[in-house]
Amino acid sequence: MTRRTVFLASGLVLLALVPPIAAALGQPFYVDVFRRIMIFAIAAVSLDLILGYGGMVSFGHAAYLGIGAYAVGIPAYYGLHNGYVQWTIAVLASAAIALVIGAISLRTSGVYFIMITLAFTQMLYYLGVSVEEYGGDDGMRLAARSTFAGLVDLRGGTTFYYVVLVLLVLSLGVGHRLINSRFGMVIRGGRSNEARMRAIGFATFRYKLVAFMIAGAMCGLAGALLVNHTEYVTPEFMHWTRSGDIMFMVILGGMGTLGGPVLGAVVLRLLEDLLLPSWTEHWQAILGPFLVLVVLFAKRGLVGLLPERRDG
Amino acid sequence: MADALLEVRRLVKSFGGLIATNRVDLEVLDGETHAIIGPNGAGKTTLIAQFAGDLHPDQGTITFAGRDVTALAAPARSHLGIARSFQITSVFREFTALDNVALAVQAHAGSSFAFWRPARADRALRDPARAMLESVGLGARGDVVAANLAHGEQRQLEIAMALATRPRLLLLDEPVAGMGLDESQQMIRFLGSLKGRHTMVLVEHDMDAVFTLADRISVMLYGRIIATGAPEAIRANEEVRRAYLGDERAL
């Protein structure tokens, strides 16, 4: 095991210890905080698969958070609370929409790709704003969390916490297999040198498209978790600043690593949600320069500050 | 006369007002090493790019092994058996040398929609890749990240990747460019060892390499091929001497 693998594993163990520690401290609030962090970590890991490993700078990844959330919220609005159905819709709908967005945007590259993925997500955002039936701009409350008869009860905050942790570990496991498989080598090769890929015989487009779909589906699952966490869904889930947030978690933690996005989610969320706002109301003036410094001086992200380079 | 493996007819490619390829006719015979020489800007690299499918001609046809490939993109031509090296070394810099070659093997080992088994533990990819590295003289350098290889080694690696696709036609764009004397001698010897087993198109400025390796030479000038023939004939050709080789160069 590399030092980074040890680091990632200990991080996950620490996350597993959050509920008992929070209970011991009499601060159950932290279970909520870290559950939210882990949901964003799943979203960030999914983005890193295409951004860090595939070099596809998608600036619209929040779209799938929204799709996943509405895939839970809309059935619930009609009285369908079955989580198996809701979460399956969340994953499949996200994959399907990623297929459409990817099929168009992957024909471009560079700045155009960034702009097109952003534009599609803005379209979905405004779609959410315009559909009054589901609350429009204000969004809507989730009447009840997804139900998984006979398996788990998400109403228990701690149970839900461990469900999210298990899904995070599964995402990391799937991600690890994926990036080291033949498929993953094609995706990474495409990031490294597209012209060389074509010359040795890879038509990379369809591989990239499938990677784009997998990332979308994984983020859709994070969206289904997020709506259960907040018990509320609004178009804000898809706002472009949310896409930027997820992207920053990846860059901050370290692109092209699995531990990086998780670390990035923890650090960014803690800074944004807890530490800085409680210290000063001008916290954004501190966060901004901090992020700039990380980008400038820790080019491989926070994970890159750990000595070992080989990871994944 | 042997059959033409690559047959190019009336090829035209222009960029704005510049005609980079001007009605080029060319036949590369099966098994031969065919050098294309000419001064900088003559259009050699543009021509190679059209053979490989990285650029598409405005007019004309490219036939490979009896099949019209003019409209095919680079990946499809790779699968028909055309491989290339680039003028500016093009490898996967972040990958190890072995990973580089294994990826080229993988490109020709069926679909890569395999999501679960680790590719780096796949002997069907690693064994041929290791053998190929061995054959180009990089056997001991497999675990070195490509970016850390010496320039000459990166050129060798690129050719190993091209060979790993088991090509019928090898397009080499200045394989000894930027190499020291020893390195280039070594590369010329290696390319010589490929002669006969692979048909090669060689774009090169190094006349030592050209006259050592080529069975036939075509001379390009301003997008046109002004002469094609055996090395001795090209050496003796007055038009070629005047246009390109220059009187001072001892041929």
Query: Is the domain of B221 the same as that of B251?
Result: yes
Q: What is the CATH number of the domain that holds B56?
A: 3.40.50.300
What torsion do the CA atoms of B178, B184, B187, B192 make, to the nearest 10 degrees?
Answer: 130
Confidence of residue B238 (pLDDT cuts 50, 70, 90): confident
- A310 touching B, CB under 8 A? no
Structure tokens at A232: 């509320």
Query: Is the domain of B182 the same as that of B251?
Result: yes
Name every chain B residue with its beta carbon within 8 A of the beta carbon of A183: 112-115
Last residue of a domain, one of B117, B148, B166: B166
**Coil, strand or helix at A24:** helix
Predicted confidence at residue B250, as pLDDT, reads 44
For chain B, the domain total comes to 2
DSSP code, position B246: -
Query: Is the domain of B46 the same as that of B157?
Result: no
CA distance B86 to chain A (A): 9
B249 falls within a domain: yes
Query: Is the domain of B18 the same as that of B33?
Result: yes
Name every chain A residue with its beta carbon within 8 A of the beta carbon of B117: 181-182
Q: Above 80 in pLDDT, residue A277? A: no
Q: Which domains does chain A have, with CATH numbers?
A: 3-303 (1.10.3470)
- Provide the residue range defining the domain that includes B157: 92-166
B86 falls within a domain: no
- B106 touching A, CB under 8 A? yes
Query: Is the domain of B99 the same as that of B77?
Result: no
Contact check, Cβ <8 Å, A185/B76: no
Q: How does the average pLDDT of chain B come out, rounded?
A: 93
Each residue's pLDDT tens digit, A130-181: 999 999 999 999 999 999 988 899 998 899 999 999 999 999 999 999 999 9
Confidence of residue A297 (pLDDT cuts 50, 70, 90): confident
Last residue of a domain, one of B166, B198, B218: B166
B239 falls within a domain: yes
B87 falls within a domain: no
Query: Is the domain of B190 the same as that of B158?
Result: no
Each residue's pLDDT tens digit, B157-174: 999 999 999 999 999 999
Helices A3-25 & A157-180, crossing angle to 10 degrees? 170
Q: Give the Å distances, CA to CA, from B161 to A76, B73, B94, B106, B143.
A: 54, 19, 15, 11, 15
Average confidence (pLDDT) over A30-46:
97
Tell me the longest C-alpha to C-alpha distance in chain B.
Answer: 62
Query: Which of B112, B162, B165 is the closest to A183 by Cβ?
Result: B112
Query: Is the domain of B33 the same as that of B146?
Result: no
Structure tokens at A269: 């969320």
Q: Which residue of A has its CA nearest to B78?
A: A201
Q: Which of A53, A174, A185 would you mutate first to test chain B, the one with the most B CBs within 10 A?
A: A185
Structure tokens at A234: 């609004």
Query: Is the domain of B121 the same as that of B244?
Result: no
Query: Is the domain of B158 the same as that of B35?
Result: no
Last residue of a domain, one of B118, B142, B166: B166
Query: Is the domain of B148 the same as that of B175?
Result: no
- B117 touching A, CB under 8 A? yes
Query: Is the domain of B173 the same as that of B75?
Result: yes
- B115 touching A, CB under 8 A? yes
Contact check, Cβ <8 Å, A195/B103: no
Confidence of residue A312 (pLDDT cuts 50, 70, 90): very low
Query: Is the domain of B249 the same as that of B136?
Result: no
B-contacting residues in A 173-192 (Cβ below 8 Å): 177-178, 180-186, 188-189, 192
